[in-house]
Amino acid sequence: MHVLGISCYYHDSGAALIRDGRLIAAAEEERFNRRKHYSAFPNLAVEYCLREAGITIKDVDYICFYEKPLVKFSRILETILTRWPRTYWNWVKSMPIWLMTKLHIGRTIQRELDTDKDIHFCTHHLSHAASAFLVSPYKESAIITADGVGEWATTAWGVGCGTNIDLQKEISFPHSVGLLFSAITSYLGFRVNDAEWKVMGLAPYGQPTYLDKFREVVDLRTDGSFRLNMKYFTHTHSTSRMFNRRWEELFGRRMRTKETEIDQFHKDIAHSGQKMVEEIMVTMATHVRKTTQMENLCLAGGVGLNCVANWRILQESGFKNIFIQPAAGDSGAALGAAFYLYNTVLKNRRNFEMRHAYWGPSFDDDCIRKALELSGLSFTYHDREETLLEQTAEAIDSGKVIAWYQGRLEFGPRALGNRSLVADARDPKMKDIINAKVKFREAFRPFAPSVLREHAHIYFEMPEGMDAPFMLLVPNVRPEKRAEVPAITHEDGTGRVQTVTEEDNGRYYRLIKAFYDCTGTPLVINTSFNVRGEPIVLSPEDAIHTFMNTGIDWLVMGNFVVSEKPDAVDYEAGMKRSIELEASSLMK
């Protein structure tokens, strides 16, 4: 049995395909069309999933969409009419899209997929809940979902047992921890639904100076429920701005405009706002733990990507274990919709656990060789993995920034060892080098460590043998180790850790092991293989383009190593030839 899950028409559209209860493929549309946070129908992602499974749409038994559009439309319509005429422009902007496309999503999906199969629908937060619980290692678990907004719900909690999910409590729009964080992001001059990581990265440089003012903005109760003080917000009648003049008067400054200087005020706002979000999530999780008496927690929704809050939940709420799948945001809801239909609706037993994120396309040596030859790059082919790993580890040790391109693409916003930039965490200058020469982004942005799991507890304040495979937890770097690995130790002494095993991470584990054998340090810097404003690379052509236009030193693709760059003229000619053939060779 094949079930296709789809999420789209808000942000980060994606698709996931399962066969007999096991995930076959999952990917975001942005990776294919190179338009970051793409929200329209994920045609290319669906095509990839079907191709990976070796089937056509005719072989798909069920198609499930990640939310219920009629319920969502009722919320939007009610919100617009309640606040008329302030919502006039919102009406003008949104109604044509709804009336022509979103209100008839079932027919739209059938048209896009060229099928007459029935389209099934799952509520937004049930899709999120299913995306975590039904692929988790737990037979039973408490569940918390939190994001901007689905249909009406913005936050929900409940329990999962076997294949059943029971969401017992909800917080409804306009009260939303996700939209609160969006307002903070916007106020700091960053792009909403794109740069929330910047707020988390900036927060450790600040102080909780404005936490009391945030408590005026949010009424947080002891059971973790909360209400936003709506006199400070505009998201009920505007999609262009999240807060109003009263918000600016409360905090004493106008919003920061894009690319202007970040000063101590902005750092303190980031710190205080992040602490407020952490308070909400920890208080809620503590209440859910006491109410459900469960030891395991599954967390999903965009707020589930707030790795600092996740670590505090694990440390302070009373839960012994936590699971967050790597695509916790809306793209991962496609995964949840598929599993919800297969396991919960159709009552099929669970037989899959998500242990890694490698569910996207891969390219064999023939594809890589063709792309390299067309580009004009000089390369070396290694038929012995041991030699490839030893030379790459030595290059990292010598200060090189390595573009590491292997196997299947990751699902979710984090590169986890298959489309990664890898460098030496011992070099105190490496963070600034990568930010300036490769990522072209703000100097305050931290980099994460990938560490051999058997050594993680030695370098981080976490239990021995603990899994953190998706870079969604932020323990402290042990004080005695901070001088050894300064490039991954953030301003507050933490590190957004990824634990790596040979079973789940294969060649990436063996690379770090080779670096450990060479240096005695069992971890490296891992950041995504892309530049600012672009999605993570998908194809060999994407990888070559990014390599050539940045300060990356080595490109390691499959068994091929590129350690030198040709002159710009040769490269441009080669890339022109490569781009002409890319459309036809992309997935062969």
Please identify every residue annotated as catalytic: 11
**Distance between terminal CA atoms of the chain?**
25
CA atoms within 13 A on the CB side of 300: 33
Contact 425, 525 (CB under 8 A): yes
Residue 133 has which token pair? 């619980």
SS (H, E, C) 76-89: HHHHHHHCCCCCHH
Query: Which of 483, 482, 487 is closest to 435 using CA atoms?
Result: 487
**Torsion sign across C-alpha atoms 121, 124, 126, 129:** positive
Q: Rounded to whole angstroms, how far apart are CA atoms 451 and 400? A: 19
Residue 240 has which token pair? 């262009």
Query: How many other C-beta atoms can be found within 10 angstroms of the C-beta atom of residue 205?
Result: 17
Contact 158, 169 (CB under 8 A): yes
CB burial string 273-286: b at 16+ within 10 A, e below: bbbbbbbbbbbbbb
Q: Rounded to whole angstroms, how far apart are CA atoms 345 and 339? A: 9
CA atoms within 13 A on the CB side of 194: 16
3-class SS at 7? strand
Query: Which of 310, 327, 332, 328 is closest to 319 using CA atoms?
Result: 310
**Torsion sign across C-alpha atoms 493, 494, 495, 499:** positive
Q: Rounded to whole angstroms, how far apart are CA atoms 504 and 68? A: 35
Q: Rounded to whole angstroms, how far apart are CA atoms 405 and 402? A: 9
3-class SS at 203? helix
φ, ψ for residue 159, nearest 5 deg: -135, 155
Q: What angle do CA 482, 445, 30 make, to 5 degrees?
A: 130
φ, ψ for residue 402, nearest 5 deg: -105, 125
Amino acid identity at 471: M
Amino acid identity at 72: K
Q: Rounded to whole angstroms, how far apart are CA atoms 424 and 521? A: 9
Query: How many other C-beta atoms can be found within 10 angstroms of the C-beta atom of residue 77?
Result: 14
Number of H helices, E strands in the chain: 21, 20
Q: Rounded to whole angstroms, how far apart are CA atoms 153 and 174? A: 9
Beta strand residue intervals within 197-304, DSSP E: 218-220, 226-228, 296-300
